Structure 1
Amino acid sequence: MGAGARPHPAHRAAGRRCHVRADRLRRLAVAALPVHPHRRRRERPPRRPLPDWLAALGRAALADAYDDPAAGDGYSPDTALINFYDGDARMGMHQDKDERSGAPVVSLSIGDSCLFRFGNTEDRGRPYTDVELASGDLFVFGGPSRFAYHGVPKVLPGTGDPAVTGLPGGRLNLTLRETGLKD
């Protein structure tokens, strides 16, 4: 994990514990979170800006996904969320409701393949589409599908090549986003 990253050993979604480990490369500024009266607010070091090469990867992915060289123009992701999935990990269907931007999400898979479930914008149920994402796959969702429910019901252990990825097992997923939130 690089400088400026902050580990999140577990997340909660819809009241249930997620089985994924996440690291954030750029702090999401959230206005005035309540502080428990018996705890002091800790000062955190400033986060580093998203690397230019990573933002360029996101713009190139949009140009390819939309088959339009100008599709990435103006795309300026301000955060990258990194999730690590071991062989037993999964993430339930969820929407990314905390963001204020409707800009597309660019997702890069590294390591073991997974079953990615891409649903509708109304609820966690059907209709949804299951897609197998392999190492090196980029998945883009934007437009009307930007706030679709999505999740990872299954990782396919042993499908990644450690010689290529550097991972002995498991899967890294890196998602680039424009949050619409300001520091």
Structure 2
Amino acid sequence: MALAPVRVRTHRRRRRRRTREALPRPARRTRPPGVTDTLGAEALGTEPAADGPYDIALINFYDADARMGMHRDADEKSRAPVVSLSLGDTCVFRFGNPGSRTRPWTDVELRSGDLFVFGGPSRLAYHGVPRVHPGTAPPELGLTGRLNITLRVSGL
């Protein structure tokens, strides 16, 4: 029995030497007061989260070929709802279950301007983006691709 050839890709990381003299420690960045907290609260239609303000804003860019595998946002101490804003190209957002990356899941089409909020028992649901529909962004946006802005509460 002959085996089919397998294509393997390896990714090598370049090591860079860093010295304190060569790379001074950057000043700590701060967010504008209340920006993410206000957006998160407005999306939920409530007061800011009890665990603290929405202090994490994660921005992902997806080009026409981009994908994101099933994962869950479980690194934060807080279990405040996740608030996700889509801008640009339409995508298929796969919303799964909290137990595993496998079915059952629901595929939802997210268009530019859509806000997706998940919390409570669904806060730790696996989710991903299996497909982006290129060229579907509103022309007035001037964006090629898709931006996703995710707001979370760290609980720190």
Matches of 1:162 and 1:135, distance apart in 2: 11
Tell me what 2:149 maps to. 174
Residues 103 and 91 of structure 1: CA distance in aligned 2, closer, same or farther (over 3 Å): same
**Partner of 1:125 in structure 2?**
102
The yes-or-no answer on 1:110 pairing with 2:87 is: yes
Residues 116-145 of structure 1: CA deviation (Å, up to 9, x unaligned): 001111110001110000000000000011
Q: Is the 8 A contact 1:78 1:178 kept in 2?
A: yes
Counting aligned pairs with the same residue, the percent is 61
Structure with the greater alpha carbon radius of gyration: 2
Pairs aligned (count): 137
In structure 2, do the counterparts of structure 1 residues 51 and 136 end up closer, same or farther at CA, with 3 Å as the change threshold?
Answer: farther
2:41 to 33, 50, 59: 59
Distance 2:84 2:112 in 1: 11
What is the TM-score normalised by the length of structure 1? 0.69
The residue that corresponds to 2:78 in the other structure is 101
Q: How does 1:81-100 map to 2 (within 5 A)?
A: 81-100=58-77
Q: What is the Cα-based RMSD across aligned positions, in Å?
A: 2.1
Q: Indicate if the aligned counterparts of 2:72 and 2:127 stay in contact, CA closer than 8 A.
A: yes
140, 143, 156: which one pairs with 2:133? 156
CA displacement, residues 135-176 of structure 1 (integer Å, 9 cap, x when unaligned):
00000000011011010000011111131x231x10000001
C-alpha deviation, 1:55, in angstroms: 2.4
Unpaired stretches in structure 1, ≥5 consecutive residues: 1-15, 18-35, 64-71
Q: How far apart are residue 50 of structure 1 and its match?
A: 4.7
Using a 3 Å threshold, how does the CA distance of structure 1 residues 174 and 50 change in structure 2: closer, same or farther? farther
TM-score, normalised via structure 2 length: 0.80
Matching residue within 57, 65, 83 for 1:80:
57
> What's 1:4 paired with?
none
